[in-house]
């Protein structure tokens, strides 16, 4: 083995161990988070309930605990994890595709636009689609309401619109990194104004949901949501992980990437499409969640560097961890009152963003 | 391997940058592309490198039209180092050179890939920099990293766009000497855009002199680079002197 191979494998082992540590931390946090709440359930009973749900008959479920864990806390925790994965991987991919360290689903306006799309469907859906909207479809033995599928579709259409708008604005004018983010934030504001307008005209029932959307939270979690989102997030993640080398190559510049056989323009569009879909689908159920797509990738870049083959899984796990911990804190910090996790993310993320544009200069920004 | 450019025309929107350019170059030769700023050197190199789409004319590789070659094959045949690229992210030298192996890799990195990287690093004498970040290096070191990336790509033809423009005197000579050595030893081909006529005289086997997007002259360096050619193309008065160490062009004033 030559010297270069030795160095390469040493670095690779370090990256793998960071990913494994993050995965273990995530599983432990999930078990803890399942136990935390108005009723505290010790980890042993959490594990017993999970085992019982997976393999009934092998072990007896603890009285009372199983119902709380499986039917109430589990969907919510899985929604936080899936949303963290989708938003953070999307952030990392957007940063690579647009070669701009400041972009993320939130700073490109996607979070607000997708939430607006979902809210629009909630308000107008019943009037426009009538009975169809209240119906359901059965797929692979699971019953999905038409409403949830239409929410995802609408969120995706608006989310994609915002991303592609920012992309073409920045392409047409050869703008700087800051201007791209500025355009994204402004487009985000436009859609937030749309949300406020919807709130103003909608009736009581829909209103409650829209308020949720503005703040971003995990209340929308049901098992049905999880069954829809899990395949969406996993498939999108695998599709983009397959292109990790192309993301790496893009960091050497468009010209070199083209010379190395990459169709740069097509890759940008399809890559943005894939991650926007996963992120929008999650945002359709959570509302505006900001900054996790910026924080997780940058923390991971500091930990393991910029090789997207490892950066993508690490960012996904880190994002899941951040969002899960934040949501758990949001659930209990002012118990019995819950605060929306979106609020916590704004505070954490805002501080991190300031750090990035002041201290990150030279190292992560140009 | 032989590259023939035939009646190549290239434009940006409606502005014609290359007008009916034809020349042939082959393996084992260093071809220097000369001409003043805006004469179309970079555009010509980018078109051959598959960075810009073809607008008119043909490029033949061993008498095969290059547009019929699949992208994946083309990227193994022709390697390219642009004039300037600003790195925004921290990437190690090793990872940067590894990018040159993109046409050969799907997801995992093979021993063969790592050997190619190792060989490229040692050819450019930058093994010690392997774990450093590219954006922390000096201009000269960085240029050698990018050349190493092209070496790792293992193409039959190299395209370099002014590789010496950010280098000091010693590094200019060193870089061109190393590249000339690679071309002659591996019998690969190389087209290099240069500003310095004396570097072309010293290292090139073949010179293509461009003026306003057309070929002014094309041939052996000593035949092409004359006092008259320098006046016509660059608008500079000069004289050609023969020394024991070689032939030099001494320029002294703009001609009016």
pLDDT in tens, A230-259: 999 999 999 999 999 999 999 888 899 999
Nearest CA in chain B to A11: B131
B80:A255 CB<8 A: yes
Please give the helix or strand (H or E) that residue A153 lies within, else none: helix A146-173
pLDDT of residue A208: 67
Specify if A364 maps to a domain: no
Nearest CA in chain B to A366: B88
Please give the helix or strand (H or E) that residue A278 lies within, else none: helix A264-286
Residues of B in contact with A99 (CB under 8 A): 88
Residue-wise pLDDT for A91-117, tens only, equals 999 999 988 888 899 889 998 899 888
A259:B50 CB<8 A: yes
The residue that leads in pLDDT, A220 or A139, is: A220
Mean pLDDT computed over A5-11: 91
pLDDT, mean over chain A: 85
Q: Identify the band that residue A324 occupies on the pLDDT scale cut at 50, 70 and 90.
A: very high
Of A61-65, A187-191, A264-268, A324-328, which gets the smallest average pLDDT? Answer: A61-65
pLDDT of residue A88: 96
pLDDT of residue A173: 67
Specify if A365 maps to a domain: no
Rounded to the nearest angstrom, the minimum Cα separation between A245 and chain B is 7
pLDDT of residue B91: 85
pLDDT, mean over chain B: 91
Phi, psi of B140 (to 5 degrees): -65, -45
Of A244-253, A281-290, B25-34, B182-191, which gets the smallest average pLDDT? Answer: A281-290
Residue-wise pLDDT for A14-58, tens only, equals 999 999 999 999 999 999 999 888 788 888 888 888 888 887 777
Specify the CATH number for the domain of residue A12: 1.10.3470.10
**The total number of structural domains that make up chain A:** 1
Q: Which of B177, B45, B189 has the alpha carbon at shortest distance from B124? A: B177
Kindly tell me if the per-residue pLDDT of B78 is higher than 70: yes
Mutate to test the interface with A, among B70, B93, B99 (most CBs of A within 10 A): B99
Specify if A292 maps to a domain: yes
Kindly tell me if the per-residue pLDDT of A81 is higher than 80: yes
Of A277-281, A292-296, B13-17, B73-77, which gets the smallest average pLDDT? Answer: B13-17
pLDDT of residue A113: 92
Mean pLDDT computed over B223-230: 93
Kindly tell me if the per-residue pLDDT of A133 is higher than 70: no
Least CB–CB distance from A5: residue in B51, B89, B111: B111
pLDDT of residue A207: 65
A326 touches A345 (CB < 8 A)? yes
pLDDT of residue B86: 66
Q: Show the domain range for A275.
A: 3-358
Nearest CA in chain A to B131: A7
The question of ipTM being above 0.90 is answered as yes
Percent of chain A at pLDDT above 90?
39
pLDDT of residue A366: 42
Least CB–CB distance from B114: residue in A5, A99, A100: A5
Question: Residue A300 region, left (φ>0) first, then alpha (ψ -120 to 50), else beta?
Answer: alpha
pLDDT of residue A39: 80
Specify if A314 maps to a domain: yes
B2-84+156-225 homologous superfamily: P-loop containing nucleotide triphosphate hydrolases (3.40.50.300)
3-state helix, strand, coil in chain B (%, to 5): 40, 30, 30
Mean pLDDT computed over B199-224: 94
pLDDT of residue A326: 92
**d(C-alpha B190, C-alpha A167), whole Å:** 36
pLDDT of residue A364: 52
Per-domain boundaries in chain B: 2-84+156-225
pLDDT of residue B149: 94
Mean pLDDT computed over B139-167: 90
Alpha helix positions (H), chain B:
41-48, 71-77, 93-98, 111-123, 139-152, 169-186, 197-203, 221-224, 227-234
Residues of B in contact with A301 (CB under 8 A): 89-90
Please give the helix or strand (H or E) that residue A167 lies within, else none: helix A146-173
User: Using the 8-state DSSP alphabet, how is residue B69 labeled?
Assistant: S
Residue-wise pLDDT for A257-269, tens only, equals 999 999 998 999 9
A258:B114 CB<8 A: no
Residues of B with CB under 8 A from a CB of A: 46, 49-51, 71-72, 74-75, 78-82, 85-92, 94-96, 98-100, 102-103, 105-107, 109, 111, 114-115, 117-118, 121, 127, 130-131, 149, 153
A8:B102 CB<8 A: no
pLDDT of residue A169: 83
Residues of A with CB under 8 A from a CB of B: 1-5, 7-8, 11, 99-101, 242, 244-246, 248-249, 251-256, 258-263, 301, 305-307, 309, 363-366
Specify if A193 maps to a domain: yes
Q: Identify the band that residue A70 occupies on the pLDDT scale cut at 50, 70 and 90.
A: confident
B200-204, Cβ contacts within 8 angstroms, sequence gap of 24 or more: B200/B32, B200/B34, B200/B225, B201/B225, B201/B246, B201/B247, B201/B248, B201/B249, B202/B176, B202/B246, B203/B30, B203/B32, B203/B176, B203/B177, B203/B179, B204/B30, B204/B31, B204/B32
Mean pLDDT computed over B189-209: 94
The residue that leads in pLDDT, A89 or A168, is: A89
B121:A4 CB<8 A: yes
pLDDT of residue B89: 66
Kindly tell me if the per-residue pLDDT of A284 is higher than 90: no
pLDDT of residue B85: 67
Residue-wise pLDDT for A191-237, tens only, equals 989 888 887 777 766 666 677 677 778 877 888 889 889 999 999 99
């Amino acid at each position: 083995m030559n010297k270069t191979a030795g160095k390469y494998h040493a670095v690779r082992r370090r990256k793998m161990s960071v990913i494994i540590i993050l995965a273990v931390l995530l599983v432990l946090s999930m078990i803890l988070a399942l136990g935390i709440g108005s009723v505290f359930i010790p980890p042993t009973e959490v594990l017993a309930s999970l085992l019982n749900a997976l393999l009934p008959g092998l072990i007896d479920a603890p009285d009372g605990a199983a119902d709380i864990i499986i039917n109430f806390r589990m969907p919510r925790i899985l929604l936080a994890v899936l949303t963290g994965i989708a938003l953070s991987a999307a952030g990392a991919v957007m940063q690579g595709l647009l070669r701009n360290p400041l972009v993320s689903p939130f700073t490109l306006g996607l979070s607000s636009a997708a939430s607006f799309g979902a809210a629009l469907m909630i308000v107008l859906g019943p009037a426009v689609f009538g009975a169809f909207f209240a119906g359901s479809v059965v797929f692979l033995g699971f019953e999905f309401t038409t409403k949830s599928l239409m929410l995802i579709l609408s969120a995706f259409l608006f989310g994609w619109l915002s991303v592609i708008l920012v992309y073409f604005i920045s392409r047409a004018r050869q703008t700087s990194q800051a201007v791209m983010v500025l355009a994204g934030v402004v487009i985000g504001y436009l859609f937030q104004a749309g949300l406020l307008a919807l709130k103003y005209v909608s009736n009581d029932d829909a209103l409650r949901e829209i308020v949720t959307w503005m703040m971003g939270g995990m209340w929308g979690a049901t098992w049905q949501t999880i069954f829809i989102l899990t395949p969406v997030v996993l498939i999108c993640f695998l599709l983009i992980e397959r292109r990790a080398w192309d993301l790496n190559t893009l960091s050497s510049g468009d010209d070199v990437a083209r010379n190395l056989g990459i169709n740069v323009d097509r890759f940008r569009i399809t890559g943005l499409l894939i991650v926007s879909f996963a992120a929008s689908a999650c945002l359709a159920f959570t509302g505006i969640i900001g900054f996790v797509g910026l924080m997780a990738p940058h923390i991971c870049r500091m930990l393991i560097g910029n090789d997207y083959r490892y950066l993508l899984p690490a960012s996904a796990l880190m994002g899941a961890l951040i969002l899960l911990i934040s949501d758990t804190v949001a659930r209990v910090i002012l118990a019995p009152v819950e605060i929306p996790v979106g609020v916590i993310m704004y505070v954490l993320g805002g501080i991190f963003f300031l750090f990035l544009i002041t201290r990150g200069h030279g190292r992560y920004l140009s | 391997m032989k590259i023939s450019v035939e009646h190549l025309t290239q434009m940006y929107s409606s502005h014609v940058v290359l007008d009916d350019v034809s020349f042939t170059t082959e393996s084992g030769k260093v071809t220097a592309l000369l001409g003043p700023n805006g004469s179309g050197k970079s555009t010509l190199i980018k078109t051959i490198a598959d960075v810009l789409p073809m607008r008119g004319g043909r490029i033949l590789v061993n008498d095969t039209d290059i547009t019929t070659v699949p992208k994946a094959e083309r990227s193994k045949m022709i390697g390219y180092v642009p004039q300037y690229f600003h790195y925004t992210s921290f990437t190690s030298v090793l990872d940067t050179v590894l990018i040159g192996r993109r046409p050969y890799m799907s997801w995992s990195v093979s021993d063969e890939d790592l050997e190619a990287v190792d060989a490229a690093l040692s050819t450019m004498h930058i093994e010690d920099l392997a774990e450093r970040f590219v954006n922390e290096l000096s201009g000269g070191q960085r240029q050698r990293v990018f050349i190493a990336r092209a070496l790792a790509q293992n193409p039959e033809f190299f395209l370099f766009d002014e590789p010496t423009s950010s280098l000091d005197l010693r590094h200019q000579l060193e870089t061109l000497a190393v590249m000339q050595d690679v071309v002659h030893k591996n019998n690969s081909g190389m087209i290099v855009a240069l500003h310095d006529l004396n570097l072309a005289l010293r290292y090139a086997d073949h010179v293509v002199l461009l003026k306003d997007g057309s070929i002014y002259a094309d041939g052996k360096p000593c035949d092409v680079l004359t006092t008259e050619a320098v006046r016509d193309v660059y608008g500079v008065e000069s004289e050609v002197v023969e020394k024991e160490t070689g032939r030099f062009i001494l320029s002294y004033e703009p001609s009016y």
